[in-house]
Amino acid sequence: MSIAGFTEKIFAGRWLAGAKIGDAITVSKRFNRYGVGASINYLGEAFKEKQQVDATVRVYLALIREIRRNRINASISVKPSQLGLAIDGKLAARNYSRVTETARKNGVFTWLDMEEHRTVDDTIKLYRSQVRKKMVGICIQSYLKRSIDDIERLVERGAVIRLVKGAYQESPRIAYRARSDTTANYSRIMEYLFRHSQRFMIATHDPKMIGYALELNRSYRREVTYAMLNGIRNKALLRLAAAGNRTSVYIPFGERWLAYTLRRLREESNLALVARSLFENQRV
Ligand SMILES: Cc1cc2nc3c(=O)[nH]c(=O)nc-3n(C[C@H](O)[C@H](O)[C@H](O)COP(=O)(O)OP(=O)(O)OC[C@H]3O[C@@H](n4cnc5c(N)ncnc54)[C@H](O)[C@@H]3O)c2cc1C
| Cα-to-centroid distance, 68 and ligand 1 (Å) | 29
Does a structural domain hold residue 93? yes
Share of the chain above pLDDT 70, in %: 90
Does a structural domain hold residue 216? yes
Q: What is the per-residue pLDDT across 97-147, written as a single tens digit (0 to 9) for each?
A: 999 999 999 999 999 999 999 999 999 999 999 999 999 999 999 999 999
User: Is the predicted pLDDT of residue 281 greater than 60, yes or no?
Assistant: no
| Cα-to-centroid distance, 81 and ligand 1 (Å) | 21
Does a structural domain hold residue 272? yes
Q: What is the CATH classification number for the domain harbouring 149?
A: 3.20.20.220
Does a structural domain hold residue 157? yes
pLDDT at 272: 58
| Cα-to-centroid distance, 76 and ligand 1 (Å) | 19
Does a structural domain hold residue 41? yes
pLDDT at 35: 98
**Contact residues of ligand 1, CB 6 A cut-off:** 113-114, 139, 141, 164-168, 179, 203-207, 227-229, 232-233, 250, 267-268, 273, 276-277
| Cα-to-centroid distance, 205 and ligand 1 (Å) | 5
User: Is the predicted pLDDT of residue 280 greater than 60, yes or no?
Assistant: no
Ligand 1, atom 2, residue with closest C-alpha: 203
pLDDT at 8: 54
Does a structural domain hold residue 284? no
Nearest to 40 by CA among 52, 31, 48: 31
pLDDT at 17: 84
| Number of domain units in the chain | 1
Share of the chain above pLDDT 90, in %: 83
Ligand 1, atom 28, residue with closest C-alpha: 206
Does a structural domain hold residue 139? yes
Does a structural domain hold residue 169? yes
Residue 183 lies in domain: 3-279
Ligand 1, atom 34, residue with closest C-alpha: 206
